[in-house]
Structure 1
């Protein structure tokens, strides 16, 4: 049962071919078997069986089950879940239990989904490998000696390891697409404003979006349809509640040369193969985006600046790991408390404070915003010529755990192809495109703002033609 797609689960539960309780029981058995190997989940929801039983009763009573009836979903542990702790993989929130559900979580449960657990991540979603977690690193289901990507490593790994059918992550600079590529699943970052951020613990407000991961494009489209749409609690959301129906139609597709130039030879070979596959059904040509060379520096300047502001609230007084400040002078207590952040979080707070400081704001932060505008203009121009742009999601293959952890610059460079979509607010997704040996490679697709349907159609076309789905041996 753990191999079933979300569509298959929802149909089976709705048609009473099997019960939601039976399915969730099998999923919990799967989690118990593989979790010691992959460490994808921080918390397993002990109430999942009860929620499944309640859903089964509603179906027996003739009530509508919803498009995600009974589907097991994991939620990245920086997204609020009522009654289930939300730690952000940090000591600072180790025992925090939110009093409310994030909008995306409520919409999933309203659609019939069952929250199976909270997925591991880099602390406060700051990282590309899921090694910076208080709860230990998540391991890649394809090779447990290697990283699964990040920061939503637990999101992608839980899907790849078949601990759930769908997972939600957050994507600030590639944090859904990077692990989707490394774990050979489908991961999508929506247009900024398509999906509510209410209940997402903030890292970089102008960049981040909640996005789904699953093993098929159809399941990602199903999940996106459930969570997308206007939210009165998030005034950055666009009006309306879109629906997504996959179709096969001829599209104009451009391979961005700058994305592929710096990729490893094994990655480039697979991406060119994906290009050839798409060219059999679509109008394909090469494209150029010269300003990509400035994207990474712009992204990290803006992201760290916003992180330094957002994380100022974590002072170990309003919430934290020790609520006994007696005996401390305030400044020393505050410094000692914030010293409990992990090294990567502290690095980003310090760097972000620096670029926002007097004398450096114009030199760094404003220039980064100018680059952002240039990238947006270049993309707008390209989308007049192409419906979808493609390239490698990640320029390298999944690497061994610990290989880059002591070199922040090398770690940041792996995001070179993904940050453009976050800076410009455009939708992007990663689709499995092949394997170099036993290591996955993902194809990134990008479309114009609020053109998720076109992007999903291209991804569905490629998925149908390439047929690269495989399951890791766990």
Structure 2
């Protein structure tokens, strides 16, 4: 394994600036690593070696001419397969989109290209982002680099696993109910859900329009801030995009990395801990809170009583929006088309029925049925309408809590990574993995998951979640950077340095 692939994106950017390496060398090193270990990890669905190397050569030519496109120009990146990429297949982990090649780029992908980051390929995911384990992909399971018998989280387990396995220094993910932060927690990586509307959703294949958000998947808080500044900002193509500049995220990281949090009020959410949370996860959380206290932060307990209803609220709103969004996959315009057997002259309805039966997996069908029922005549007010009212109450809980604290904190996920196959047939057990992350999506506030250490029971990573008010993304970066700095000093180096070497491993 080459030394380059273990360096952070910020360090790689410095190496490029100093002439110590080239983008072609970095990109080839990542491609070599993918070739060596992805047979065991299965983080990628498509690898675009030719396109990545062409972009890397263009980056090196720009740098030689003194025309650097961004701070990350030349640093390779992986992209979750739910984001449209011109010329590269976008499947959303579903058979119904197998082989579909978009004629355009998602706005975040276009920004990444314009910033000069070579795209290594597309990462695996739960089908249409429905899942917490990346076991619901039509193209196979992704494995956690810490333990190949365990899940890497979901739905964006492919992006998190690629970063944790040193296949890519950074990646793009999407977070609908925790799909960046929960994989970050169980793989020992950093995952950020920006403020809703702070990063364009144009070109993101929608699961739930009012919940989805694109964000960074990285190994450090600084890397996340650097990538967030590349992809963030207003986009006129997205009607939900916020028309105002991003806060100074990199500056917030540098401020936090000093380890001084004097005057910062940190609220521990009473409802996001205790029963149902693994003892080792809670132990690492408490240790992290104590470190923040020693850094000068004032810690208070806050109560958000309606958070206990967040899971039920989410699983009415999300399926309702998903059932509407997935109606477009009708076998008439693009994607898979299956002709029903034994029908001589099938109608459009016959073809649609056969295609959706063959093209959608069990979890997608389950959520379409739930959502269609919740929106049906006679049940809309009783289910979907009531869920929207509770959503408002959850937002009001956040507003009151942020009057008492500058940021709110909790464990990111209740447990460490569970064994592959352990919960795939138990939807309710699977849904509980997003218990702590869902409230942020329902209210649109930003959140970050920072590795908090290894749980005593299994030696697997746990995550520490930090939430801030909408548009105050800089707060999560400042506190996240402070915690990361304190933990690195305590650990004597990056947590991922303790992960197994995957060379020669097989799934």
Q: Distance in 1 between matches of 2:346 and 2:13?
A: 55
CA-based RMSD of the aligned residues comes to 1.2
1:215 corresponds to: 219
1:406 aligns with 2:425: yes
1:336 corresponds to: 354
1:33 aligns with 2:58: no
1:5 aligns with 2:8: yes
SS at match of 1:58: helix
In the TM superposition, what is the alpha-carbon distance from 1:59 to its structure 2 partner? 1.4
The TM-score normalised by the length of structure 2 is 0.92
The answer on whether the counterparts of 2:339 and 2:355 sit within 8 Å (CA) in structure 1 is no
Q: Distance in 1 between matches of 2:345 and 2:461?
A: 53
1:424 corresponds to: 443
The answer on whether the counterparts of 1:9 and 1:69 sit within 8 Å (CA) in structure 2 is no
Q: Distance in 2 between matches of 1:156 and 1:7?
A: 18
Q: Residues 143-162 of structure 1: CA distance to partner in whole angstroms, max 9, x if unpaired? A: 00000000000011000001
In the TM superposition, what is the alpha-carbon distance from 1:324 to its structure 2 partner? 6.8
- Aligned match of 2:395 in 376, 379, 389? 376
1:463 corresponds to: 484
The TM-score normalised by the length of structure 1 is 0.98
The answer on whether the counterparts of 2:338 and 2:355 sit within 8 Å (CA) in structure 1 is no
The answer on whether the counterparts of 1:14 and 1:65 sit within 8 Å (CA) in structure 2 is no
User: Which sections of structure 2, spanning at least 5 residues, go unmatched?
Assistant: 503-507
Q: Residues 424-445 of structure 1: CA distance to partner in whole angstroms, max 9, x if unpaired? A: 0101111000101421100011
In the TM superposition, what is the alpha-carbon distance from 1:240 to its structure 2 partner? 2.8
Q: Distance in 2 between matches of 1:438 and 1:40?
A: 22
- Aligned match of 1:397 in 412, 416, 436? 416
- Aligned match of 1:228 in 232, 243, 259? 232
Q: Distance in 2 between matches of 1:330 and 1:63?
A: 54
1:62-461 matches, within 5 Å, as 62-242=66-246, 243-244=248-249, 245=251, 246=253, 247-248=255-256, 249-250=261-262, 251-262=264-275, 263-281=277-295, 282-322=297-337, 327-340=345-358, 341-436=360-455, 437-461=458-482
The answer on whether the counterparts of 1:294 and 1:371 sit within 8 Å (CA) in structure 2 is yes
The answer on whether the counterparts of 2:337 and 2:351 sit within 8 Å (CA) in structure 1 is no
- Aligned match of 2:56 in 52, 62, 66? 52
Q: Distance in 2 between matches of 1:182 and 1:465?
A: 20
Q: Distance in 1 between matches of 2:348 and 2:104?
A: 31
Q: Distance in 2 between matches of 1:327 and 1:265?
A: 60
Q: Distance in 1 between matches of 2:125 and 2:352?
A: 25
SS at match of 1:178: helix
In the TM superposition, what is the alpha-carbon distance from 1:126 to its structure 2 partner? 0.5
Q: Distance in 2 between matches of 1:321 and 1:308?
A: 18
In the TM superposition, what is the alpha-carbon distance from 1:321 to its structure 2 partner? 2.2
In the TM superposition, what is the alpha-carbon distance from 1:292 to its structure 2 partner? 1.0
In the TM superposition, what is the alpha-carbon distance from 1:322 to its structure 2 partner? 3.1
SS at match of 1:365: helix
2:505 corresponds to: none
Q: Residues 168-219 of structure 1: CA distance to partner in whole angstroms, max 9, x if unpaired? A: 1110000000100010100000111100000000100001100111000000
Q: Post-superposition, which runs of at least 4 consecutive aligned residues in structure 1 deviate over 6 A?
A: 323-326
SS at match of 1:260: coil
In the TM superposition, what is the alpha-carbon distance from 1:42 to its structure 2 partner? 0.4
In the TM superposition, what is the alpha-carbon distance from 1:317 to its structure 2 partner? 1.8
SS at match of 2:86: coil
Q: Distance in 2 between matches of 1:74 and 1:202?
A: 19
The answer on whether the counterparts of 1:317 and 1:323 sit within 8 Å (CA) in structure 2 is no
In the TM superposition, what is the alpha-carbon distance from 1:323 to its structure 2 partner? 7.4
In the TM superposition, what is the alpha-carbon distance from 1:289 to its structure 2 partner? 1.1
SS at match of 2:345: coil
Q: Distance in 1 between matches of 2:114 and 2:17?
A: 15
Of the structure 1 ranges 316-325 and 219-228, higher mean CA displacement relative to structure 2 is found in 316-325
In the TM superposition, what is the alpha-carbon distance from 1:455 to its structure 2 partner? 1.1
Q: Residues 396-434 of structure 1: CA distance to partner in whole angstroms, max 9, x if unpaired? A: 121000000111111111111110000001011110001
In the TM superposition, what is the alpha-carbon distance from 1:15 to its structure 2 partner? 2.7
In the TM superposition, what is the alpha-carbon distance from 1:54 to its structure 2 partner? 1.3
Instruction: State how many pairs are aligned.
Output: 474
